[in-house]
Amino acid sequence: MSSSLSSNISKQQIKQLPTLEELLQTAKETFRQNFGVEPELACCAPGRVNLIGEHVDYNDGFVLPMALPMVTLIVGGQRVGNDVDLITCCTDVDEPKRVKFRLFSLKPSEKPKWSNYVKGVIHYFMEDHGEMPFGFNAVIVSNVPVGAGLSSSAAIEVATLTFLEHFTGHKLPNDAKRALICKAAEHNFAEMPCGIMDQTISLCGKKDCALLIDCCSLEMFQIPFVAGEKDLVVLICNSDVRHELSDSEYPTRRKQCLQALNIMALKSYRDATDEGNLSALKANHCDEVLLKRARHVITEIKRAQEAAIALKAHDFKKMGELMTKSHMSLRDDFQVSCPELDVLVDAAINCPGVLGSRMTGGGFGGCTVTLVQRNALDNVITAIYENFIKKFNKNAAERIEFYICTPSEGAKKLSL
């Protein structure tokens, strides 16, 4: 493929998302049109990409995500009575896009599904704070892709919680408490047994930093991640694939990890070692699937710690190597990759200028994250495009979207 065509592919498929200012303008106009007044408050929270440490947040491990420039934004204002009137402008959520509910009769797992994230946060916020004296009208907009493994759910939860804190004037004591409220909302209202990572990074992200999170103690450490100093970029590739296995296999993996932990007679994976405990599993003739699950968790926790050390030392070569090893483990031992993600990673790591690549998120579709030299971007995108055509078809390749991202800020109040 010619270099000019390569450049055209890059320009076409590097997704130009609405800016924060454009999102805010859309939200304000929608609010004004539907409620006849100006909104009183605006808050936003970002999605995230996990650089390394996958499927270990619910296993007491270490994770190393960064907040994205992609955000979910909520604007709102007080209304008479105890109702919430909520509108979403997001095009990729289930219908209906407007829902009204009472603050004091919140029920989980209702339709539309997207509203459960908001309801759950309100429920647990009031459980901590007490009943709110009045309801509100609100509009939600977002440029975080849904179903791509970039934590669109955490973004709406954290944006809602940030809005509620400013709306009521009740500040929660710390970010750990905030993250736990959002996690409870996702567990019990959206019925997704997530870990704590997504909500934490959406709350605590910092510009030009990744966040090392100890998912056992909830301690957090900002790790400088200024890839631009080495002319590197973080390239996210959205496969536009979401296999139905993702919802059912997530709780299955959690159960398998716990079973392996019990066989090892340990209380936490933080007490496990790849030499001693995996050998013990083999000696006990442990089921091969459980052995694989435990091996991924134990080695991935170690990789996440080593990655933080590498970033601190500006050793991006080592960071890239760890990212690629992480993908191999997720593919072979945790078995949450899929052919589309494997093609994206294989195409990337075989390109000059790529330091490492891996799937990110729960798996069975979604995105990959790649650490790449900026001057190699066109060639990497072209290679991915061509390999996708060979393995699948041109239509599948044309649905791929790319995002060039830098570590960004966490949740915040916006000026209207």
Q: Measured between alpha carbons, how far is 70 from 75 in angstroms, rounded to an integer?
A: 17
Q: Measured between alpha carbons, how far is 142 from 221 in angstroms, rounded to an integer?
A: 28
Provide the angle, in degrees to the nearest 10, between the axes of the packed helices 152-168 and 197-204.
50
Provide CB contacts within 8 A for 44, sequence distance 6+.
Answer: 20, 23, 71, 72, 73, 74, 159, 162, 411, 412, 414
> Angle CA(386)–CA(367)–CA(312) in degrees, nearest 5?
110
Active site residue 378: no
Q: Measured between alpha carbons, how far is 5 from 169 in angstroms, rounded to an integer?
A: 54
Q: Measured between alpha carbons, how far is 161 from 165 in angstroms, rounded to an integer?
A: 6
Q: How many CA atoms lie within 13 A of 242 on its CB side?
A: 10
- Find the catalytic residue in 198, 231, 332, 342: 198
Nearest to 302, CA basis, from 325, 336, 331, 320: 325
Q: Measured between alpha carbons, how far is 221 from 350 in angstroms, rounded to an integer?
A: 32
User: Counting beta carbons within 10 angstroms of the beta carbon of residue 178, is it exposed (0 to 12), middle (13 to 18) or buried (19 or more)?
Assistant: buried
Residue 126 near residue 84, CB atoms below 8 Å: no
Q: How many residues does the chain have?
A: 416
| Start-end of H helices in 72-196 | 115-129, 152-168, 175-188
**To which H or E segment does residue 370 belong?**
strand 365-373
Nearest to 160, CA basis, from 70, 63, 66, 84: 84
Instruction: Report the chain's C-alpha Rg in angstroms.
Output: 21
**Active-site residue numbers?**
198
